[in-house]
Amino acid sequence: MNGSKIAERDDAASAIPRVLRVSAALSWRTLVILGAVYVLGLVLGQIYVVVIPVAIALLLSALLAPVVSWLAARRVPRALATALVLIGGLAVVGGVLTFVINAFIAGFPDLQRQVIASLTALKSSLAEGPLHINDAQIDAFLQQAQDWLQANQAVLTSGALSTAGTFGNFLTGLVLALFTLIFFLHDGRRVWLFVTGLAPKHVRHKVDVAGCRGFESLVGYVRATALVAVVDALGIGLGLVVLGVPLAIPLAALVFLGGFVPIVGAVASGSVAVLVALVTKGWVTALIVIGVVLLVQQLEGNVLQPLLLGRAVQLHALAVVLAISIGAVVSGIIGALLAVPLVAVLNASIRSLLDDEEEGPGPTPEQEAEEAAEPPEDDEEPEPATPTGDR
């Protein structure tokens, strides 16, 4: 009886074209995956105040962890190495920010004078040009703008209060990111081993290897992106200095920060430099600055990106652009910043999971030295060797 039912079922299945069966199977599996991703996105959206600082701490740990491991390999206690790297990193960031702010304050009076002179010249051009806009019409436009500001004062005030609340969340996230970064640098391997311990025992090794591969890709991405950002800042900043554009150093620092969003960031920050050049030096200088920005972008897109980022993350330029676009649509600037490293980590991890012959990365010399320098405590049982050679 059961055999006849199975035979009838097989006959009914064979009556359906194979293309339709495969399409149906792929369709419901795709719907399940998309539903899971959607639910995960909703959950992460509710706790974004925690997720974003942790993600930023992971990026920073990818930049600083090799330095901590290098110090630990030379028999510096890991706690001391973590403290030295954090203090040194904070000192560098604080010094750069102080230098940029002081340069902006010092150059602001000159920028203000040049802006006023440019506005006066623009006003004369409007009056004497083909538009023949006189002073009375310009004053009427300014009066309309003032009336609009007064009419929307309540909206602007509420927006300012919202900004103040956002600033409070920013400070909270900054403290959480710093706290998380300390533990990632000091005890990141044990944290990861705890996470892999949640996986079934028969796949725990492959999950560990995939995580190590993903973190290696993240380290390569952060290093390559930082180098590309430095080249962008030096190229555009040098062009601004040669052309005598005010606030060249703060604008170069802005280009450096924008360089951490591949392809899009340097263009956006370079547009600010073009706008400053247009207001202060005129359209001829602005066109030259556009040429400098385009030249730097060609160097980045045709040389640095394929040579550095391509080797580090093994992603096509189209995948990078699409990831940035989707990240910007979903979460704005933060999404654009985190999209590419997320895709890079997923790409490396999934490739490792799909590779059945992957043996995993062997221990590096730094990890071997660190292993020898930090023997297990007496009250702890030694853990078995992991693919990275660390405990």
What percent of the chain shows pLDDT beyond 90?
2
Q: What is the pLDDT of residue 3?
A: 56
CA distance 61 to 184: 6
CA distance 315 to 335: 18
Give residue-wise pLDDT tens across range 258-309: 777 766 677 777 888 888 888 777 788 888 988 988 888 778 767 776 667 6
DSSP annotation string for 5-25 = HHHHHHHHHHHS-HHHHHHHH
pTM: 0.66
Give residue-wise pLDDT tens across range 249-260: 878 887 887 777
Tell me the range of 166-180, 196-210, 320-334 where mean pLDDT is highest: 196-210
Give residue-wise pLDDT tens across range 107-122: 667 666 766 666 666 6
Give residue-wise pLDDT tens across range 190-228: 888 888 888 888 888 888 888 888 888 888 888 888 888
Name the residue among 360, 312, 19 with its Cα closest to residue 213: 360
| In the block, residue with structure tokens 């019409």 | 137
CA distance 257 to 89: 16
- Cα Rg, the chain, nearest whole Å: 28
What percent of the chain shows pLDDT beyond 70?
66
CA distance 52 to 334: 8
Is pLDDT above 50 for 167?
Answer: yes
pLDDT band for 32, please (50, 70, 90 cuts): very high
Q: Where would I find the H helices in the chain? A: 2-15, 18-46, 48-73, 78-128, 135-151, 153-196, 204-243, 248-258, 264-281, 283-299, 310-313, 317-354, 365-373
CA distance 210 to 216: 10
Cβ atoms of 201 and 235 closer than 8 Å: no
CA distance 248 to 356: 53
pLDDT band for 354, please (50, 70, 90 cuts): confident
